[in-house]
Amino acid sequence: MTDASRSPLIVALDYPSAGPALALARRLSPELCRLKVGKELFTAAGPDLVKALVDLGYSVFLDLKFHDIPHTVAKACQAAARLGVWMLNVHALGGQAMLETARQAVSESDVPPLLVAVTVLTSLTQKDLIRLGIIGTPADAVLRWAHLARECGLDGVVCSAEEASMLRRECGPGFCLVTPGIRPADAAQDDQQRVATPAQALAVGADYLVIGRPITGATDPEQALRKILSDLKQGI
């Protein structure tokens, strides 16, 4: 795993092209944060951009949520590991065989990244789960799929801060919890429904916090990032 940072903050580079993503990466630093590349940026700018961010010294979370037959996902995970990313993810709904095959493939990489599973997307409601034939509340499904991911040897899951304390309790201290939906107390909520401040998310057991627009949309992104880190130090 290429882990150049000790920061718990992962800045989501949600941009339509490489230019603004690289510009922001050059204004920030690997000591202050890690970076997340998601579907939009990866589809537009591809592996070269990921490699450029790794070459700048960043720990990169490749957030492509792989979900396919086991062989295809395993090969995709290996290709991602070859880019030198620090973390990558698959979708827990791919099932046991897909998760185990992904685990095996990542472990065989020269430098294995952390492998985490997406559980219930935070955009899905109870009504959506019923239409999909998934029983129980969203929290029940998150817990079931987190247990499955853990049993398949994954390093952790992506979850909302609301589920973090339950998962920390149920899945133990070594299980990595990555939480999006993070908003500093004075930031706009945007389209996120269930938000927590950085300090609240860490307090309930999150290991890493994904933050996008409060930093990427700030007039001075570096200052916004430093303010979040300093608030965290003070427990705000």
Q: H/E/C letters for each residue in 167-229?
A: HHHHHCCCCEEEECCECCCCCCCCCCCCCECHHHHHHCCCCEEEECHHHHCCCCHHHHHHHHH
Smaller CB separation from ligand C5P, 36 or 103: 36
Q: Which is nearer to ligand C5P, 32 or 104 (CB)?
A: 32
Is 119 an interacting residue with respect to ligand C5P (CB under 6 A)?
Answer: no
Residues 8, 38, 113, 198: which binds ligand C5P (CB under 6 A)? 38
Binder among 8, 14, 15, 205 for ligand C5P (CB under 6 A): 14
- 8 is a site residue for ligand C5P (CB under 6 A): no
Identify any residues that bridge with 91 across adjacent strands, giving them in sequence order. Answer: 118
What does the DSSP 8-state code read for residue 33? -
| Residue 113 CA: distances (Å) to CA of 3, 123, 183 | 9, 27, 27
Taking CB under 6 A as the criterion, which residues in 207-226 touch ligand C5P? 210-213
CA distance 14 to 184: 18
200 lies in the binding site for ligand C5P (CB under 6 A): no
207/215 Cα distance (integer angstroms): 19
65 is catalytic: yes
* Residue 190 interacting with ligand C5P (CB under 6 A): yes
The count of other CB atoms within 10 Å of the CB of residue 2 is 17
Task: Compute the least distance from the CB of residue 224 to ligand C5P, in Å.
Answer: 12
Binding flag, residue 88, ligand C5P (CB under 6 A): no
211 residue type, one letter? I
Task: List the beta bridge partners of residue 211.
Answer: 11
Point out the catalytic residue in the list 51, 65, 227, 233. 65
Among 69, 111, 121, 132, binds ligand C5P (CB under 6 A): 121
Residue number closest to ligand C5P, CB atom: 212
Which residues of the chain form contacts with ligand C5P (CB under 6 A)? 12, 14, 38, 121-122, 158, 180-181, 190, 192, 210-213
